[in-house]
Structure 1
Amino acid sequence: MPRSDTVPPQADPAAAQAIAWAVRLRSGEAGEAERAAFRAWRQADPRHEAAAARLEQSLGLFDSLPGEAAARSGLRRALLAPANRRRMLRDTLGLLLLGAGSGALVHRQMPVNDLFADLHTGTGERRRYTLADGSQLWLNARSAADLAFDASQRRLQLRSGELIVEVARDPARPFVVETAEGSVRALGTRFLVRQEAGSTLVAVLHSRVALEPQAAAGSVLAEGASARFDRRAVYPESQAPRGIAAWEDGFIEVHDRPLADVIAALRPYRSGVLRVAPEAAGLRVTGTFPLDDSERTLAALAEALPIAVRRRTDYWVWIEAR
């Protein structure tokens, strides 16, 4: 297992894991092996037991789990529905726990699917790993990745979020980061990869990388450059790599970027909903803002821009033009 140094999240991840188990065990697909694994997880740590007990007390989710042949058909249909329906169920579980005063995390604290990744972080958490080959890996908040290292290759699948990797030299085993749109192959030591909706952002901090979209010819990206690619093409990106990678030190650093980009960078550091109205999203922002004090960042933006920060609760915040 890789070693890690962690910036602690703002809440206990055991609650999110308990939600993940609830969804999994009530899906109608769980067999005895998974139920045994849940029992082992629950007994492994007092925090796991406490999180599961809160779910039982508030929602009765574990104390009457359906048998293998008798799962509730309505819940099974919800879980087998499209992904957005499954996300709704998981979000609902989290919100119900919050309403019951359990202090549990909602789905946005740590996406439930990502709990089963080899490496993952929750809301407000940055983590550094030392991989088996000696490479150093940094995961931004709400990020997840899987490892596939063997005698001939070093492959890392970025499920979600963002990473920086400093690659240990090993000419016999290429180091490749795979995303939904293609892959990034190390030709040097240090680079950043971000999984976005429909595209991958890459920034080279040292040496070079090869960008390999799934359905297009590859290209080489040099130190000090950044680019975005989808399945069919590579597009130059104007952002400086050092600014893109500022989250490693706990900051958002932007120069003449839309407010929407700043808010997108801030979301993994806040529980709940953070939205920006279309008429405010395009406002241009230049500056450096702290990630670990999102309230301070929102206050600074409200002071510098013609925007208003509105709140329904601390977990439901939206930004609109003044």
Structure 2
Amino acid sequence: MPMPDSTPAQAHVDQAIDWLVKLRFDRPSPRLEQQFQQWLASHPHNPLAWQRVSRLGDELAGLPNDLSRRTLQTCQQQRSSRRDHLKLLALLAGAGSLGWAAREPLGLPQLLADSRTATGERRQLQGSDGSHIQLNTASAIDLHYSAGQRRLQLLRGEVSLDSNPNDNRPFRIDTRVGPMTTLGGQLLLRENEHGLLLAVRRGDVTLFPASASPRRVLSGETLQVWASGSFQAVTLRSDPWGWTDGVLSVQQMPLGEFIAELARYRPGLLRCAPEVAGLTVSGTYQLNDTGQILQLLTRSLPVRVDYRTRYWVSIAAA
């Protein structure tokens, strides 16, 4: 069953844009910071909206100050449709050669996707062909079916596909690193900073089927596919399929990597101090309660959890 929808409404996105303008261009003050924290805590969707919109601050930092100011203030002042807001912001990023629309959760392709999830949300779907699909946190896909083909496009994030082996139509999967096909395979795809992680649990997958030398990926294989199209087999410190069962399962993973992984499921900022980043973590943790996971770390490792706010958390030496 799908998890409850936690996608921020238009009003929360508008408010987040207002705060982005204020925090970027107004004079800093304790009162402004207090008002911002009060807004964050006033509704459960506000931190989700802020997490998405605030990433624009990083993108806008590389643009001329007057250009970013005018564009953000236009978004703040014009109460047009959500799509118009996003078009304006995407055009700004494109003008700065930042490619924002291709990466951001608020980019138009992701916003208009057939299915998508917010940070911390996981969703189960069933295709019209009987295939089972799961979306991980902050992910988006499109699905298309025709008489001769089934097609899934990964727009962002991570997806698992358990394709129906009784359907004879090939299943094509389009990703940013290239296409792949399967007939009755069970596979997992995750975008990462290097390109794409591909894991096959059942059947096989043909990577780059139209190329001169397609690669057949067999059951049990896990590949890192680079943005250039090259690939290599990898061994992971975590079970890539764990999230499909609602868990984060790791073995001897450095704490810094573990916290970075956990941060994918938690709205706000989650950091790990360098002096404890090398400590190792092993175990299986329930993703439904990231706060409990943080507390469990304090019982097994010499660390403490510092909450500056509910959405600004640091892990430091005890």
Please say if 1:142 is aligned against 2:138.
yes
What is the CA–CA distance in structure 2 between the aligned matches of 1:298 and 1:200, rounded to whole Å?
A: 28
Give the equivalent residue in structure 2 for 1:290.
286
Deviations 1:67-108 (A, max 9, x none): 9xxx9xx98984554476969xxxxxxxxxxxxxxxxxxx8x
- 1:226 to partner: Cα distance: 1.5
Gapped runs of 5+ residues in structure 2?
Answer: 19-48, 50-72
Is the contact between residue 17 and residue 115 of structure 1 (CA under 8 Å) also seen in structure 2?
no
Give the equivalent residue in structure 2 for 1:237.
234
- 1:172 to partner: Cα distance: 5.0
Is the contact between residue 182 and residue 213 of structure 1 (CA under 8 Å) also seen in structure 2?
no
- 1:252 to partner: Cα distance: 0.1
Give the equivalent residue in structure 2 for 1:129.
125
What is the CA–CA distance in structure 2 between the aligned matches of 1:279 and 1:187, rounded to whole Å?
A: 48
The aligned length equals: 256
Deviations 1:249-288 (A, max 9, x none): 2110011223244223322321111122444434322110
What is the CA–CA distance in structure 2 between the aligned matches of 1:177 and 1:319, rounded to whole Å?
A: 38
Q: Percent identity?
A: 35
Change in 2 beyond 3 A, CA 1:296/1:276: same
Please say if 1:166 is aligned against 2:168.
no
- Among residues 304, 307, 312, which one is paired with 1:308 in the alignment? 304
- 1:139 to partner: Cα distance: 0.5
- 1:164 to partner: Cα distance: 1.0
Change in 2 beyond 3 A, CA 1:77/1:112: closer
What is the CA–CA distance in structure 2 between the aligned matches of 1:221 and 1:289, rounded to whole Å?
A: 29
Is the contact between residue 272 and residue 315 of structure 1 (CA under 8 Å) also seen in structure 2?
yes
- Among residues 97, 120, 125, which one is paired with 2:116 in the alignment? 120
Aligned residue type for 2:191: Q
Please say if 1:274 is aligned against 2:270.
yes
Deviations 1:128-162 (A, max 9, x none): 11112221111112111122332232221212111
What is the CA–CA distance in structure 2 between the aligned matches of 1:276 and 1:18, rounded to whole Å?
A: 28
Instruction: Please show how residues 188-203 of structure 1 align to structure 2 within 5 Å.
Output: 188-203=184-199
- 1:170 to partner: Cα distance: 6.0
Change in 2 beyond 3 A, CA 1:18/1:313: closer
Give the equivalent residue in structure 1 for 2:147.
151
- Among residues 223, 226, 229, which one is paired with 2:222 in the alignment? 226
Aligned residue type for 1:233: S
Please say if 1:14 is aligned against 2:9.
yes
Secondary structure of residue in 1 paired with 2:263: helix
Change in 2 beyond 3 A, CA 1:266/1:140: same
Is the contact between residue 165 and residue 183 of structure 2 (CA under 8 Å) also seen in structure 1?
no
Change in 2 beyond 3 A, CA 1:247/1:200: same
Change in 2 beyond 3 A, CA 1:301/1:213: farther
Secondary structure of residue in 2 paired with 1:169: coil
- 1:223 to partner: Cα distance: 1.9
Gapped runs of 5+ residues in structure 1?
Answer: 24-50, 52-58, 88-106
Secondary structure of residue in 1 paired with 2:2: strand
- 1:127 to partner: Cα distance: 0.9
Is the contact between residue 149 and residue 171 of structure 2 (CA under 8 Å) also seen in structure 1?
yes
Is the contact between residue 169 and residue 183 of structure 2 (CA under 8 Å) also seen in structure 1?
no
- 1:306 to partner: Cα distance: 3.4
Change in 2 beyond 3 A, CA 1:160/1:66: closer
What TM-score do the two structures reach when normalised by structure 1? 0.66
Is the contact between residue 309 and residue 318 of structure 1 (CA under 8 Å) also seen in structure 2?
yes
What is the CA–CA distance in structure 1 between the aligned matches of 2:279 and 2:310, rounded to whole Å?
A: 24
RMSD, aligned α-carbons: 3.9
Give the equivalent residue in structure 1 for 2:253.
257
Aligned residue type for 2:219: E
Secondary structure of residue in 2 paired with 1:132: coil
Aligned residue type for 2:158: E
Is the contact between residue 115 and residue 140 of structure 2 (CA under 8 Å) also seen in structure 1?
yes
